[in-house]
Structure 1
Amino acid sequence: MKLSKLYSNKPDLFETIIFSSGLNVIQAEIRLPENKKKDTHNLGKSTLGKLLDFCFLSQKKSEFFLFKHEQLFNQFVFFLELELEDGSYLTIRRGVTNAARISIKKHNDSHQDFTQLTNWDHENVPFDKAKEILDSILNFYCLKPWPYRKILGYLLRSQDDYRNVFQLRKFASKHKDWKPFLAHILGFNSDLITKHYELESQLKDARNREDIVQKELGGSIEDISRIDGLLLLKQQDVNERQRLLDQFDFHSVDQVKTKKLIDELDLKIATLNKRRYSLEFNRKKIELSLQKQQILFDPDKAESLYKEVGILFPKQLKKDFNQLIKFNRAITEERHKYLKEELSSIKKELIDINQTLLQLGEERTQTLSFLGETDIFDKYKQISNDLITLKADIAFLERQKEFIHKLQELRTEIRQLNKKYQKIQIDMEKDLEMQNKQETSLFSEIRLYFSRIIEDVISRKALLNVKINREGHLDFSADILDEAGCSTSADDGHTYKKLLCVAFDLAILRAHLKDNFPRFVYHDGIFESLDDRTKINLLNVIRQYSILDIQQIITVIDSDIPLDNNIFFNKNEIALVLHDEGIQGRLFKLPSW
């Protein structure tokens, strides 16, 4: 598929462009001296690429120039004529006002004027449907399962798209949206890469759900066996209390509560009281110890006293006393540290014991109250309350059991997904190794074309490389090599980055010449910032690829042309000349917007 013609319903405001099958130059000439030093001239050479994208059914966006200045363009209707693989033609009609309604027609003759046509094959078709129809007619089967628009980013390179060889401005989103497609057109198994991203997403989702379930469990995960055992005991208690309520007989309950009061509650209370007494005793001893341990001897005062009574106090003796005091202080500080830690632990345990004793005391009071209660209805009421509490406990355990089941299922799911993920990872590595190793693979072919283009332009080899990074995803790189075959930083500059982008696009097109694949590429400002020799070499490569049946549309400004126009470009290569001598020199014969 190539471009044949671009025109509108207002030829006086938008000049018709006829595209040749080879090289097409959109040349902007700065004729007014006062404009020669300006960086931008608003003639429309870069706008052409945006307009072509619009005719190829790009999504409507408010910031797009046709819609941003809709009052200027609302009457425009554009027509893009394409030459298809079988030699027939296809015209796409799209207006600005009703941009979501598209008309399409196939025809046998080129350079038609359908501005007044009434019998379209598909007329005013909804936007999404129109893209499906166009995708079906173009039939780029080697792009499947992706539609035709996926490749257009590499075929309509704007100035912003020279920043990265692989990730275009339109792909400034998640890698999963463009890496599988790029791998596909390079000859790799894109199904593996797509599945890899899907499994990664599923794993992330499953792990997030696992975290949620763990939080719902409250951080304490019990095993199923323990919960089942507790449920069995709780249910037994429920059945027993229900039987007592049904029979209205509380004698056995009295026996159970009496046994619990003697064997459990009183014993626990006595044990805790004994422990509390021991802790309180230790606490007081530690507090006294912390208060008493002070060093009262002062060597300075002793020296002064000795002087008063006329007795010599040797300096060495004072030094020994100071060292002894220092040593004792160090020991004392270390001991204080451990005593304080022990004191803190004792106080904490005392708080816990006091709280437990309060709870046990309350439970003992309730049990004694129950045993001392003579009113059978009060006992009925208390057992009913016990039954409600037991059932609430059972409901809680059942809910916890449900969460644990869900958690077990999620962990099983995560293990299975992880197993598939690792299998896909291995398959990706095998596919990568195979495509790199085979000299006849599509990737090897693209690699050779890519390097040859760079070598023809700047006499340096270049390497197109694909590897798997630590996260298990594909990484793409394009490097200019030195004489030893090592990567250099030359591609970091804008100039060489642009060359790498151009070489990549052309290499892709050439490698797919045997397929039903697009045969055109648009490069905006292709010669900007290049030196004259590089421009000449690049033009020679462009012409070579035109001979190979690859149509190229390039935009240039006359100041970037190193030689006379008649020598640098052939007349039949210039598709459109723009200039700054009034609005007639613009792409749109309208005032600047």
Structure 2
Amino acid sequence: MKLSKLYSNKPDLFETIIFSSGLNVIQAEIRFPENKKKDTHNLGKSTLGKLLDFCFLSQKKSEFFLFKHEQLFKQFVFFLELVLEDGSYLTIRRSVTDATRISIKKHTDSHQDFTQLAHWDHENVPFDKAKEILDSILNFYLIKPWQYRKILGYLLRSQDDYRDVFQLRKFASKHKDWKPFLAHILGFNSDLIVKHYELEAKLKDAQDRETIVKQELGGSIEDISRIDGLLLLKQQDVNERQRLLDKFDFHSVDQAKTKKLIDELDLQIATLNKNRYSLDFNRKKIELSLQKQQILFDPDEAESLYKEAGILFPEQLKKDFNQLSIKKELTNINQRLLQLGEERTQTLSFLGETDIFDKYKQISNDLITLKADIAFLEKQKEFIHKLQALKTEIRLLDKQSQKVRIDMEKDLDTQNKQETSLFSETRLYFNRIVEDVISRKALLSVNINQKDHLDFNADILDETGRSTSADDGHTYKKLLCVAFDLAIIRSHLKDNFPRFVYHDGIFESLDGRKKINLLNVIRQYSNLGIQQIITVIDSDIPLDSDIFFDKNEIALILHDEGIQGRLFKLPSW
């Protein structure tokens, strides 16, 4: 597919452009000396690429010049005529006022004027449907499953698109939107790359959900077996209390509390009182001996003394004294006795309760508390099950991602090693273009970075074959972009693939000899059947070149001698 003709319904305001099948130069001439020092001249040479993109059905955006100044352009209707692979023609009609309604017609003759055409093959078709129809007619099967517009970014290079060889301005942030496609047209297995991005997105989503569940658990992640055990015990308590409530019978409860009172509380209180008596007796003897101002106390002598006094547990007493802990232990015993006394009082109160409804109320409150505990444990169990499922999902996704990574590496290795692969062919063309222009070798390479994503690189090499920083400059970066675009098209000449490319300001900043070298490359590629539309300003033409472009290579001349020299014969906007 190539460009054949661009025209409008207002030829007096927009001059018709006929494109040849080879080199097409849009040349801007600065004829007034005072304008030569200006950076921009508003003649429209860069606007042409935007207009072509509009006719190829770019998305309507308010900042686009036709819509930003809609009052100025609202009457315009544009027509782009294309020549197809089979030699037939296709015309696309798009207006500014109704930019989302498109008309399309196929025809056999070139250079038609359809401004007054009454019947179109597809008339006023909705925007998205029109893109589907156009994609079907163009039939760039090699780039499937992507539509034709995906490749246009590399075929319509504006000044902003020379900043990076691979990542165009419209792909400023989303690598997944362009890296799989670029890998595809270079001959790599794009399915693997698409799959990798899908798995990466799923993995991140699962990890985010895992974080949320952990937050809901409140940082306390119990073992599922422990929770099941607690649930079993608490459910047993619930069943017992429910049985009592159902029977309205509290005899067994009275029995249980009586047994606890006798077997546990009284026994503990008696033991603690015995210990407290023993400790208090010892404390008083020690205080008495100290009051008599005896010699400095020796634990060994005290041990003998206590034996004579018949005090029990002398070894423990010696240790307690050495650690000065009798007073502390007495304090602990007193506190525990107070707790046990309070519990004994509450238990006796329950046993002494004669009002059956108060007992019913107390058991009901216990049941409510137990059920609340069970509900909490069940919720925690649910979260833990979710967490376990997410961990399993994350492990599976990570395993799948690693497998895709391995397959990507194998595919990369295969395409790099095979001299006849599409990638090898493209990188040879790429190097030859750069070498023909600046006498330096250039390397096109693809690798997998630490994040398991593809990295595309275009480097200018020194004499030893090492990468240099020469490509960092805007001039050589632009050359690498041009070389890449031409190499891609050439490597697909045998396929139904676009065979045109538009480069804005292609000679800017190059020195005279390199401009001539680049022009020779452009002509060489034109002879191969690649249509090229380039824009230049006359100051970029080498001064020592008598004839830089042939007359038949000039598609349009723009100049600064009034409105008639502009792309649009309108006042500057």
Q: Shared fold by TM > 0.5? A: yes
1:190 aligns with 2:190: yes
Whole-angstrom distance in 1 between the partners of 2:446 and 2:189: 13
Cα distance, 1:109 vs. partner? 0.5
**Greater CA drift, 177-186 or 354-363:** 354-363
Residue 404 of structure 1: CA displacement? 1.1
Report the equivalent of 1:517.
497
Please give the per-residue CA displacement for 1:193-241, whole angstroms capped at 9, x wherever unaligned: 0000100110110011111111111111112211111111111111111
Cα distance change of structure 1 residues 485 and 363 upon mapping to structure 2, 3 Å threshold: farther
Give the C-alpha shift of residue 55 in structure 1. Answer: 0.4
Flag the 1:244–1:482 CA change in 2: closer, same or farther, 3 A. same
Is residue 383 of structure 1 aligned with residue 367 of structure 2? no
**In structure 1, how many angstroms separate the alpha carbons of the residues matched to 2:232 and 2:6?**
81
1:473 equivalent to 2:453? Answer: yes
Q: Which residue among 406, 409, 419 is the counterpart of 1:439?
A: 419
Distance of 1:353 and 1:122 partners within structure 2: 98
Residue identity matched to 1:157? R
* Cα offset, 1:265, TM superposition: 7.3
Q: Distance in 2 between matches of 1:28 and 1:556?
A: 6
Alignment of 1:414-433 (within 5 A): 414-433=394-413
Q: 1:58 to 1:376 in 2, by over 3 A?
A: same
Task: State whether structure 2 residue 397 is matched by structure 1 residue 411.
Answer: no
Residue 16 (structure 1) aligns with: 16
Gap change, CA 1:49 and 1:260, over 3 Å in 2: farther
Report the alpha carbon displacement of residue 396 of structure 1 after superposing the two structures with TM: 1.2
What aligned pairs does 1:39-438 form with structure 2 within 5 A after superposition? 39-260=39-260, 366-438=346-418
Shift of 1:358: 10
Correspondence 1:561 to 2:551: no
Instruction: Provide the rounded CA distance (Å) in 1 between the counterparts of 2:178 and 2:24.
Output: 29
TM-score, with normalisation over the residues of structure 1? 0.84
Q: For residue 572 of structure 1, what is the aligned residue in structure 2?
A: 552
SS in structure 1 of the partner of residue 455 of structure 2: strand
Distance apart, 1:463 and its partner CA: 0.2
Q: Does 1:536 align with 2:543?
A: no
Counterpart-to-counterpart distance in 2, 1:43 and 1:355: 97
Instruction: Provide the C-alpha distance between the structure 2 equivalents of 1:43 and 1:152, rounded to a whole number of angstroms.
Output: 24
Change (3 A) 1:360 1:484: farther
For residues 448-482 of structure 1, the C-alpha deviation after alignment (integer angstroms, 9 at most, x for no partner) is 00000000000010000100001111001100001
Length, aligned pairs only: 519
Q: Residue by residue, what CA displacement relative to the aligned partner does 1:37-92 show, whole Å, maximum 9, x if unpaired? A: 11100000000000000000000000000000000000000000000000000000
Query: Within 1, Cα distance between the matches of 2:24 and 2:120?
Result: 29
Query: 2:309 maps to what in 1?
Result: none
* Aligned counterpart, 2:36: 36
Query: What is the Cα deviation at residue 363 of structure 1?
Result: 6.6
1:397, CA displacement in angstroms?
1.2
Distance 1:270 1:396, change over 3 A: farther
* Mapped partners of 1:57, 1:432: distance in 2: 34
Deviation, structure 1 residue 373: 1.6
What letter corresponds to residue 119 of structure 1 in structure 2? H
Aligned residue number for residue 307 of structure 2: none
Q: For structure 1, which segment, 557-566 or 20-29, has the greater mean C-alpha deviation from structure 2 after superposition?
A: 557-566
Q: Distance in 2 between matches of 1:389 and 1:43?
A: 83
Letter in 2 for 1:483: E
Cα distance in 2 between the residues matched to 1:22 and 1:199: 45
**Cα offsets for 1:247-297 (capped at 9, x unmatched):** 11112112333445566778999999999xx9xxxxxxxxxxxxxxxxxxx
Gap change, CA 1:381 and 1:437, over 3 Å in 2: same
Pairwise CA RMSD of aligned residues?
2.6
Is 1:3 aligned with 2:3? yes
Aligned residue type for 1:50: K
499, 523, 529: which is aligned to 2:479?
A: 499
SS for the counterpart of 1:6 is strand
Relative to structure 1, the CA distance from residue 116 to residue 259 in structure 2 (aligned partners, 3 Å threshold; closer, same or farther) is farther
Distance in 2 between the 1:264 and 1:573 partners? 110
Please state whether the residue corresponding to 1:568 is helix, strand or coil: coil
What is the CA–CA distance in structure 1 between the aligned matches of 2:117 and 2:76, rounded to whole Å? 16
In structure 2, the CA distance between the partners of 1:253 and 1:6, relative to structure 1 (3 Å rule), is: same
Segments of structure 1 that go 5 or more residues without pairing to the other structure are 279-351
Matched AA of 1:461? K
The partner residue of 1:589 within 566, 569, 572 is: 569
For structure 1, which segment, 519-528 or 237-246, has the greater mean C-alpha deviation from structure 2 after superposition? 237-246
Query: Structure 1 residue 366: deviation in Å?
Result: 4.8
Residue 528 to residue 399, structure 1, CA distance change in 2 (3 Å): same
Matched residue, 2:290: none
Specify the code of the residue in structure 2 equivalent to 1:233: L
CA deviation map 1:3-38 (0-9, x unaligned): 000000000000000000000000000001111111
Structure 2 CA distance for partners of 1:355 and 1:111, relative to 1, 3 Å? farther
Which residue of structure 2 lines up, in the alignment, with residue 349 of structure 1? none
Aligned residue type for 2:221? I
Task: Report SS of the residue matched to 2:547.
Answer: helix
Give the whole-Å Cα distance in 2 for the aligned partners of 1:354 and 1:42.
Answer: 97
Secondary structure of 1:58's counterpart equals coil
| Map 1:449-488 → 2, pairs under 5 A | 449-488=429-468
SS at match of 1:154: coil
- Cα distance in 1 for partners of 2:2, 2:337 equals 90
Which amino acid in 1 is paired with 2:205? D
Kindly provide the CA deviation profile for residues 83-127 of structure 1, in whole angstroms up to 9, marking residues without a partner as x: 000000000000000000000000000000000001100000000
Which region of structure 1 is more displaced relative to structure 2, 371-380 or 130-139? 371-380
Distance in 2, Cα, partners of 1:80 & 1:268: 101
Distance 2:337 2:159 in 1: 79
Partners of 2:270 and 2:32 lie apart in 1 by: 107
1:377 to 1:495, Cα distance in 2 relative to 1, 3 A = same
Which residue type is aligned with residue 366 of structure 2?
D
Change (3 A) 1:465 1:262: farther
Q: Percent identity?
A: 88
Q: Secondary structure at the match of 1:369?
A: helix
Q: Taking structure 1 as reference, are residues 81 and 565 closer, same or farther at Cα in structure 2, changes over 3 Å only? A: farther
Cα deviation, residue 517, structure 1: 0.4
- Tell me the SS of whatever aligns to 1:112: coil
**Secondary structure of 1:497's aligned partner:** helix
